[in-house]
């Protein structure tokens, strides 16, 4: 019943040992973007070497597209993954136990649905992070494959074929800050906004406005009971408040119900572990 559950994101890797939704152990370290999957797996194996023997299976929630156990990047700017990398097979070989791989945001959606802000009702989860990911629960089922990849949407209001996340997420914020003469990452932008820096508040507002429009589109497409927002940027100071205030011009019939993710950075590992257990019973 104990699962070695790992979240491989565009910026960091979170390794955990989970039993019945409880985190028994954890370790976090950066995802070295240039290294590639063999090295990321080797780094994980190294970090959790002394957990060996205490888990019966491994679950990985990974940024990117997972198709039949194979892993590819949709947006190499979030993380450059070679096409169709045999992730589940390599995990089985490395850790010697049954392996499940699933997209990170879909796993987080399932985690929030089962043990977080979803309250057991159909929901859409959005993570605003290095990229933008998402997951959809309909009639109690998690949609897999490309479903929920809201960061990949190319709305007609975009001025090119670039995915929406390139105009919203952590990468976008850092590049806007650089244009304003500040070589900083997303957390520093939130800190600067708290200190009253106008350039920083403007970047956050631009991103939050696009997330608000995305929530409206999702409501029209799927009409979920709740849209749960998570991710390092989604959960940062005031971001959800910004989104809510952008939406407040709508009348009640059209207004999406927005909720804050409850599992924070653990949503992906909790969801992936739950799916692995469910699959193996
Ligand atoms: C990108 C895409 C999604 C992922 C999302 C959030 C890649 C490598 N990733 O849209 O699969 O769910 O980013 O990922 O194409 P995160 O790393 O920002 O959490």
Q: What would the 3-class secondary structure string for the chain be?
A: CEEEEEEECCCEEEEEEEECCEEEEEEEEECCCCCCHHHHHHHHHHHCHHHCCCCCEEEEEECCEEECCEEECCCCCCCCCCCCECHHHHHHHHHCCEEEEEEHHHHHHHHHHHHCCCCCCCEEEEEECCCEEEEEEECCEECCCCCCCHHHCCCCCCCCCCCHHHHCCHHHHHHHHHHCCCCCCHHHHHHHHHCCCHHHHHHHHHHHHHHHHHHHHHHHHHCCCEEEEECCCCCCCCHHHHHHHHHCCCCCCCCCCEEECCCHHHHHHHHHHHHHHHHHC
Please state the atom number of ligand 1 nearest to the C-alpha of residue 231.
19
* Cα(113)–Cα(100) distance, integer angstroms: 19
Q: Which pLDDT does position 279 carry in this prediction?
A: 83
Q: Which pLDDT does position 226 carry in this prediction?
A: 96
Give burial (CB, 10 Å; 0-12/13-18/19+) of 241. Answer: exposed
Please state the atom number of ligand 1 nearest to the C-alpha of residue 64.
11
> What is the chain's length?
281
Give burial (CB, 10 Å; 0-12/13-18/19+) of 23. Answer: middle
Strand 2-8 and strand 12-19: the pairing is antiparallel
Query: If you take atom 7 of ligand 1, which residue's CA is the nearest one?
Result: 64
User: Which pLDDT tens digit goes with each residue over 209-242?
Assistant: 999 999 999 999 999 999 999 999 999 989 999 9
* Cα(211)–Cα(229) distance, integer angstroms: 10
Q: Which pLDDT does position 78 carry in this prediction?
A: 87
* Cα(51)–Cα(55) distance, integer angstroms: 8
Q: Which pLDDT does position 281 carry in this prediction?
A: 65
> Cβ(64) to ligand 1 under 6 A?
yes
> Cβ(123) to ligand 1 under 6 A?
no
Question: What tens-digit pLDDT sequence spans the chain (281 residues)?
Answer: 999 999 999 989 999 999 999 999 999 999 998 999 999 999 999 999 999 999 999 999 999 999 999 999 999 988 999 999 999 999 999 999 999 999 999 999 999 999 999 988 999 999 999 889 999 999 999 999 999 999 999 876 556 678 899 888 888 999 999 999 999 999 999 999 999 999 999 999 999 999 999 999 999 999 999 999 999 999 998 999 999 999 999 888 889 999 999 999 999 999 999 999 988 76
CA 241 to chain CA centroid, Å, is: 20
| Half-sphere CA count of 58, side-chain side, radius 13 A | 28
Tokens (6 digits) for 150: 């809201």
Q: Which pLDDT does position 156 carry in this prediction?
A: 62
> Cβ(17) to ligand 1 under 6 A?
no
Q: Which pLDDT does position 111 carry in this prediction?
A: 96
Please state the atom number of ligand 1 nearest to the C-alpha of residue 11.
17
Estimate the crossing angle of helix 267-280 against helix 104-115, to 10 degrees: 80
pTM of the model: 0.93
> Cβ(165) to ligand 1 under 6 A?
yes
| Cα 4 to ligand 1 centroid, rounded to whole Å | 21
> Cβ(2) to ligand 1 under 6 A?
no
| Cα 75 to ligand 1 centroid, rounded to whole Å | 7
Q: Which pLDDT does position 77 carry in this prediction?
A: 87
């Amino acid at each position: 019943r104990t699962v070695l559950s790992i979240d491989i994101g565009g910026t960091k890797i979170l390794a955990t040992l989970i039993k019945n939704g409880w985190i028994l152990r954890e370790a976090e370290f950066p995802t070295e973007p240039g290294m590639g999957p063999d090295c990321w797996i080797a780094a994980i194996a190294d970090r959790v070497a002394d957990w060996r023997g205490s888990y019966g299976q491994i679950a990985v929630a990974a940024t990117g597209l997972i198709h039949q156990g194979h892993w590819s990047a949709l947006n190499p700017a979030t993380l450059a993954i070679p096409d169709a990398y045999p992730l589940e097979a390599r995990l089985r070989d490395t850790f010697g136990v049954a392996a499940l791989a699933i997209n990170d945001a879909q796993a987080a959606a399932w985690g929030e649905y089962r043990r977080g802000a979803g309250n057991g009702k159909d929901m859409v989860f959005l993570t605003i992070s290095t990229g933008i990911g998402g997951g959809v629960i309909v009639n109690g089922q998690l949609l897999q494959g490309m479903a929920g990849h809201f960061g990949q949407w190319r709305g007609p209001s975009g001025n090119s074929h670039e995915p929406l996340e390139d105009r919203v997420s952590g990468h976008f914020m850092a590049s806007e800050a650089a244009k304003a003469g500040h070589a900083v990452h997303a957390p520093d932008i939130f800190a600067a906004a708290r200190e009253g820096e106008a350039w920083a508040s403007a970047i956050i507002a631009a991103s939050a406005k696009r997330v608000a429009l995305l929530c409206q589109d999702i409501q029209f497409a799927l009409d979920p009971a709740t849209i749960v927002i998570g991710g390092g940027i989604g959960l940062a100071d005031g971001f959800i408040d910004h989104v809510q205030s952008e939406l407040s011009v709508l009348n009640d019939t059209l207004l999406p119900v927005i909720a804050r993710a409850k599992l924070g950075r653990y949503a992906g590992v909790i969801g992936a572990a739950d799916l692995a257990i469910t699959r193996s019973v």
